[in-house]
């Protein structure tokens, strides 16, 4: 087997056209990745225009922007309130032909301008206990939402559903602290209570801020019934929660209330709570996301040129097989190596190893340099954990290698260069391009589940959270399969086609 | 002397409606050049492909040194063959073409340079094979066949496209190889060249052996190899032009 591998390596490296094409493939991944930078405003409009997101207790970046009517709670205690429904303002639904959505960072604060009445599905109002008013600090909250009923959430990424409840009817909410444990309860009438969740906040100091809050996230209208790509427009939304019937236990002697816009610039204002009070807020308490509901982009964007490199890899990998049939050289090869399965295996190993190496090299360059270019252009880039970046780089290598082996198998099966190259591009690259451009989300997701293009999932670094409406569809950088499952789909296809090719090569005369 | 010879026994092979091999049986002895002749479509190339394990016969066996070709671990060290001089990747240089073949048999670049020298290709070794004339490709094919220093050689029409100097060179080269004790199977349509080169002739038609004689036997009976060919294949050819020596009889 070593001799066969050596022979196939010699074959690959001694055809100048193939070597050049593979080098161009790597260059295309890097070049396109650096070109698709885009422009942003982070750090470009003088001091204080830098995009800095608060960091949550788990170390990830978060959005923490809400209106908070609060006072101190030292030690254990409890607060109960009646929430008399939510009302809100959404950005005006655009007519067709409106201005396109900007790709740069979007502010989540700011006036809602000429909005229209309505509630964002994840508009929130309720009770919260938090370590001070610093954005990103630990918290737990029980809330009523625009369309997702009662929820218990804590530390930005954790979300637990309570009973479904309409946002417009009164709901009783209670938050109880016992040590580091926070319990959220809810009730339709103030007498029959249900526990929604009990969570631990290890970082919560003895004295915490507790009170009522309201906030409402970026809202996006999807035009054309959610089918049109590029038909998404939105802006900030706003919610107003009306509270009454406040009762508290053990809230201590310092019973004065303040109103703070957490994440905003204004300093806290003293507040006199009457029998009923309103809290109006805009923003979100959630993990920070990229894409249309968040700001900036992910490092995955630097790998957008992979498809171009992939096309060249498919062409070369196919031709390493079909060129032998075209010239009759396959007879020389089989005469030299009568165990024909080994020929295929050696070819697959060599083209797979070479394209893996090229993919890793190109991805390393483009992830490192491309990230810097994006930042230099003022685009906010969500930092990816080192583990994620390694997965993107290694995954890109595996994506190229898997595609190369599949293309080689198609070449051995179909034996004709043009037919096999077209087949390879149609099954590997075309589904990805269609899903990323013209296809509606559902067929796009379906293609990215079953075709070899599923392996592009390995390049996803955006994380989707159910409690953030970020439209997790392929166009926005969300794939239907997990990274390794997507890669497994490609590996399965490659193994199947290579197996069939081996069967055919062994059975037929050459 | 099975160790270094080709034994073909009862080969049958059908391609669709065409019966290409119909009980082909013969032996190629070491130390001799064996001519392999017959009309087009007689089954010469198919027989060679079966010997090399490229085509699977419907029946019968082909053994090289007593073993099926497919079971040889480094087959080019046992059998060298030239079936189609055009079977090259045109972008690869002559030397690199031989280099991958050498690597497939665990041989080194030094051996490649030896056979390039033997075939008279040293000066063009680093030129792309796609630019070679047919005669140079034949030399490259012979160099490839010699790579593994094999005891058995099988060459299909090596004289094609060769200039007179090349033809003289092959003739002497094959005689020398046989003199070293190798078995050489030489398929050609050039009877005069074969008459001066071969010790033994296997004459085939319609997928089977028509005559399997030594050269002196054939010459004694028919006068020349060409006459022997025409007389023996009279019933085995599919087309013959009016006015040709055999048709006018």
Provide CB contacts within 8 A for A237, sequence distance 6+. A88, A89, A90, A91, A112, A115, A118, A119, A120, A123, A216, A217, A218, A219, A282
Q: What is the mean pLDDT of residues A103-120?
A: 59
pLDDT band at A341 (very low <50, low <70, confident <90, very high): very high
B92, A15: Cβ pair inside 8 Å? yes
- Min mean pLDDT across A262-271, A325-334, A422-431 is at A262-271
The 10s digit of each residue's pLDDT in A361-390 is: 999 999 999 888 888 888 888 878 889 999
Å between B70 CA and nearest CA of chain A: 5
Question: What percentage of chain A carries pLDDT values higher than 90?
Answer: 68
Lowest mean pLDDT among A256-270, A330-344, B28-42, B71-85: A256-270
Mutation for testing the A interface, residue in B64, B104, B154 having most A CBs under 10 Å: B104
| Distances, alpha carbon A171 to alpha carbons A63, A144, B49, in Å | 26, 8, 86
pLDDT of residue B167: 94
Of A8, A10, A329, the CB nearest to B88: A329
pLDDT in tens, A121-161: 999 999 999 999 999 999 999 999 999 999 999 999 999 99
pLDDT for the residue A254: 55
Per-residue pLDDT at B240: 63
Which residue numbers in chain B have pLDDT < 70? 1-4, 237-249
CA distance B49 to B47: 5
What residues in A contact B91, CB-CB < 8 Å?
A: 15-17
ipTM, 2 dp: 0.93
pLDDT in tens, A39-52: 777 877 776 677 78
The whole-angstrom separation of Cα A342 and Cα A171 is: 71
Answer yes or no: do A14 and B53 touch at CB < 8 A. no
Identify the residue with better confidence: A264 or B6. Answer: B6
Contact B193, B182 (CB under 8 A): no
Whether chain B has a CB inside 8 Å of the CB on A339: the answer is: yes
Helix orientation angle between B134-146 and B164-179, rounded to the nearest 10 degrees: 10
Mutate: best of A12, A321, A332, A339, partner B, most B CBs <10 A:
A332
pLDDT at A293: 65
- How far is the C-alpha of A26 from the C-alpha of B187, rounded, in Å? 48
> What are B's interface residues with A at a Cβ cutoff of 8 A?
49, 52-56, 69-72, 74-76, 81, 83-84, 86-93, 96-97, 99-101, 103-106, 144
Alpha-carbon distance A78 to A446, whole Å?
Answer: 49
- Chain A: give the shortest CA distance to residue B50, in Å: 9
Could you tell me which chain B residue has the CA closest to the CA of A507? B56
Instruction: Look at residue B249 in the predicted model and tell me its pLDDT.
Output: 44
Residue A79 has pLDDT above 50, yes or no: yes
C-alpha span between A325 and B69 (Å, rounded): 21
**Over A209-227, what HEC string results?**
EEEEEEECCCEEEECCCCC
Give me chain A's average pLDDT, please.
89
User: Is A327:A369 a contact under the CB 8 Å cutoff?
Assistant: no
Sheet holding A257-262, edge to edge: A158-161, A150-154, A139-145, A124-130, A207-215, A66-74, A257-262, A269-271
State how far residue B95 is from chain A, nearest Cα, in angstroms: 10
Interface membership of A506 toward B (CB under 8 Å): no
Closest Cβ–Cβ partner in A11, A15, A334 for B54? A334
pLDDT digits (tens, 9 = 90+) for B20-41: 999 999 999 999 999 999 999 9
Cα–Cα distances in angstroms (integers) from residue A440 to residues B54, B85, B89, in the given order: 50, 54, 45
Instruction: Give the distance from residue A486's alpha carbon to the nearest chain B alpha carbon, in angstroms.
Output: 36
Smallest CA–CA distance, residue A349 to chain B, in Å, is 15
pLDDT in tens, A181-231: 999 999 999 999 999 999 999 999 999 999 999 999 988 887 654 444 456
The per-residue pLDDT for A118 is: 92
Q: Which chain B residues contact residue A506 at CB under 8 A? A: none
Q: CA of B226: how far to CAs of B104, B195, B230, B237, in Å? A: 40, 9, 6, 15
In the prediction, which pLDDT does A475 show? 82
Which pair of tokens denotes residue A404? Answer: 């190369």
pLDDT at residue A231, as a whole number: 61
Q: At what angle do helices A386-414 and A340-376 cross, to 10 degrees?
A: 140
């Amino acid at each position: 087997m070593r001799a066969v591998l050596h022979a196939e390596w010699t074959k690959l490296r001694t055809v100048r056209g193939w070597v050049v094409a593979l080098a161009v493939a790597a260059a295309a991944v890097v070049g396109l990745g650096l070109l698709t930078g885009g422009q942003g405003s982070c750090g470009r409009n003088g001091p204080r225009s830098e995009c800095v997101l608060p960091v949550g207790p788990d170390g990830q970046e978060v959005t923490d922007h809400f209106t908070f009517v609060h006072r101190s709670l030292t030690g254990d205690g409890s607060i109960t309130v009646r929430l008399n429904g939510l009302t809100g303002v959404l950005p005006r639904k655009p007519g067709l032909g409106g201005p396109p959505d900007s790709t740069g960072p979007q502010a989540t604060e700011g006036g809602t301008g000429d909005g229209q009445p309505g509630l964002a599905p994840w508009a929130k109002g309720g009770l919260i206990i938090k370590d001070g008013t610093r954005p990103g600090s630990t918290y737990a909250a029980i809330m009523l939402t625009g369309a997702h009923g009662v929820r218990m959430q804590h530390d930005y990424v954790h979300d637990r559903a309570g009973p479904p409840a309409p946002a417009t009817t009164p709901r009783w909410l209670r938050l109880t602290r016992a040590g580091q444990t926070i319990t959220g309860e809810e009730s339709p009438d103030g007498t029959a209570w249900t526990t929604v969740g009990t969570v631990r906040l290890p970082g919560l100091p003895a004295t915490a801020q507790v009170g009522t809050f309201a906030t409402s996230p970026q809202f996006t209208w999807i035009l054309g019934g959610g089918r049109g790509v590029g038909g998404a427009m939105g802006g900030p939304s706003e919610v107003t929660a009306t509270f009454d019937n406040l009762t508290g236990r053990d809230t201590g002697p310092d019973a004065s209330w303040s109103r703070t816009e957490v994440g905003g610039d204004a300093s806290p204002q003293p507040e006199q709570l009457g029998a009923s009070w309103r809290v109006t807020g805009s923003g979100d308490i959630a993990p920070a996301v990229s894409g249309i509901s968040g700001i900036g982009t992910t490092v995955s964007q630097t790998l957008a040129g992979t498809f171009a490199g992939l096309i060249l890899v498919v062409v070369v990998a196919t031709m390493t097989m079909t060129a032998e049939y075209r010239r009759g050289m396959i007879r020389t090869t089989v005469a030299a190596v009568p165990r024909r399965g080994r020929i295929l295996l050696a070819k697959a190993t060599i083209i797979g190893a070479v394209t893996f190496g090229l993919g890793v090299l190109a991805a390393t360059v483009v992830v490192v340099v491309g990230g810097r270019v994006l930042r230099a252009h003022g685009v906010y880039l969500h930092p990816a954990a080192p583990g994620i970046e390694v997965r993107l780089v290694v995954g890109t290598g595996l994506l190229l290698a898997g595609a190369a082996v599949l293309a080689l198998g198609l070449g051995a099966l179909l034996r004709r260069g043009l037919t096999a190259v077209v087949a390879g591009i149609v099954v590997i690259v075309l589904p990805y391009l269609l899903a990323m451009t013209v296809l509606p989300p559902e067929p796009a997701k379906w293609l990215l589940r079953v075709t070899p293009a599923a392996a592009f999932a390995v390049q996803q670094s955006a994380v989707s959270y159910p409690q953030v409406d970020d439209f997790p569809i392929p166009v926005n950088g969300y794939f239907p399969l997990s990274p390794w499952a997507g890669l497994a789909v490609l590996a399965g296809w490659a193994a199947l086609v290579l197996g069939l090719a081996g069967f055919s090569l062994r059975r037929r005369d050459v | 002397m099975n160790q270094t010879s080709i034994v073909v026994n009862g080969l049958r092979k059908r391609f669709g409606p065409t019966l290409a091999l119909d009980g082909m049986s013969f032996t190629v002895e070491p130390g001799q050049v064996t001519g392999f002749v017959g009309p087009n479509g007689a089954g010469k190339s198919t027989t060679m492909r079966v010997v090399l394990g490229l085509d699977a016969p419907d029946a019968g066996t082909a053994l090289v040194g007593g073993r099926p070709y497919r079971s040889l671990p480094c087959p080019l060290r046992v059998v060298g063959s030239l079936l189609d001089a055009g079977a090259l990747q045109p972008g690869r240089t002559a030397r690199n073409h031989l280099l991958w073949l050498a690597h497939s048999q665990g041989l080194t670049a030094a051996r490649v340079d030896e056979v390039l020298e033997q075939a008279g290709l040293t000066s063009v070794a680093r030129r792309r094979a796609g630019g070679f004339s047919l005669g140079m490709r034949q030399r490259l094919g012979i160099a490839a066949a010699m790579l593994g220093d094999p005891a058995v050689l099988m060459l299909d029409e090596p004289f094609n496209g060769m200039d007179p100097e090349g033809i003289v060179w092959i003739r002497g080269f094959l005689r020398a190889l046989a003199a070293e004790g190798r078995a050489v199977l030489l398929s050609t349509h050039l009877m005069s060249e074969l008459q001066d080169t071969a010790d033994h002739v296997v004459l085939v038609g319609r997928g089977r052996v028509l005559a399997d004689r030594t050269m002196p036997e054939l010459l004694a009976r028919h006068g020349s190899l060409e006459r022997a060919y025409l007389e023996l294949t009279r019933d085995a050819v599919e087309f013959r032009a009016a006015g040709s020596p055999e048709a006018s009889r």
